[in-house]
Amino acid sequence: MKQQLTKYLASHGPWSRRQAESLIRAGRVTVDDQPAHLGEIIINPHTIIKVDGRPIANQEPAPVYFMVNKPVGYTCTNKQLPHEKNIFELVNYPGRLFVAGRLDKNSHGLVLLTNDGILAAKLTHPRFTHPKIYEVTVRPGITSANFIKLQTFLSQGHKLYDGQSLARAKISRQLAGDRLEIILEQGQKRQIRLLLKLAGYEVIDLKRTGLGPLKLGRLPIGAVRSLNTAEIDRLKQLIQDKQ
């Protein structure tokens, strides 16, 4: 065991790293009954760490995996922003969670929250591509003639940000005159909205329905459920396949 104290507190309690730093500065943390200091490294697995005199469990928390149907208006960040609703408020879990597959504030649908940092990092890293499925409503509507043009435009790839590869998208099917099912295997910021804007369309609704092997199904807006064993196994297999 070799871990920075702030990271240890963040992974074993309800605090972010910044909050852990504040606790240490305030003298509320002790290591083997001695006042803790910033930058301290925990090496001994039997070290007793306390916050406000109460010991922190030194075993790693059991891994948890939550599917959330994120509502519009919620952010997907660990930062506590004033006057902003946060997706973590929807989950009754006392420890730190990571977002695997963020959605912007104006989008909704499937988001994965987990304390499995390794899995979350691999699911979000550009190297580990995996399909993400969206239902997208646009304005104006799409005629049959324009559908082929748009399909070609999105598959060709376009530059959205300096220093990043061309952004692409695949239309898997047209659900209605103004609604498409789009698949991404990249994760550039606001990728679908910006690509469609370049093509002359405005996104008026964006919903993620699939993330790798996970499907949103009929999970109500704002609801949370734990992944079942089969879903967790498929996620882990997806990561192994991309090694």
Lowest mean pLDDT among 10-14, 20-24, 144-148, 216-220: 10-14
Lowest mean pLDDT among 12-21, 31-40, 97-106, 169-178: 12-21
Model pTM score: 0.77
Distance CA 85, CA 81 (A): 8
Is 37 within a domain?
yes
Distance CA 114, CA 242 (A): 20
Strand residues in the chain grouped as ranges (E):
3-4, 29-31, 34-35, 41-42, 49-51, 54-55, 65-70, 74-75, 85-86, 98-100, 108-114, 132-139, 170-176, 179-184, 202-211, 214-215, 224-226
Same domain for 31 and 88, yes or no, is no
Amino acid residing at 235: L
Q: Is 104 considered catalytic here? A: yes
Instruction: Output the domain CATH number for residue 196.
Output: 3.30.70.1560
pLDDT band at residue 230 under the 50/70/90 scheme: very high
Is 60 within a domain?
no
Domain that holds residue 187: 132-211
Same domain for 48 and 69, yes or no, is no
Mean pLDDT score, 181-194? 92
Same domain for 92 and 117, yes or no, is yes
With a cut of 80, say whether residue 191 has pLDDT above it. Answer: yes
Q: Mean pLDDT score of the chain, rounded to an integer?
A: 90
With a cut of 70, say whether residue 135 has pLDDT above it. Answer: yes
Mean pLDDT score, 157-185? 94
Structure tokens at 100: 């695997």
Instruction: Output the domain CATH number for residue 39.
Output: 3.10.290.10
With a cut of 80, say whether residue 11 has pLDDT above it. Answer: no
Structure tokens at 47: 């070290």
Is 80 within a domain?
yes
Same domain for 118 and 93, yes or no, is yes
Give the chain's domain count.
Answer: 3
pLDDT band at residue 47 under the 50/70/90 scheme: confident
Write down the pLDDT at residue 58: 64
Given 104, 116, 233, 241, the catalytic residue? 104
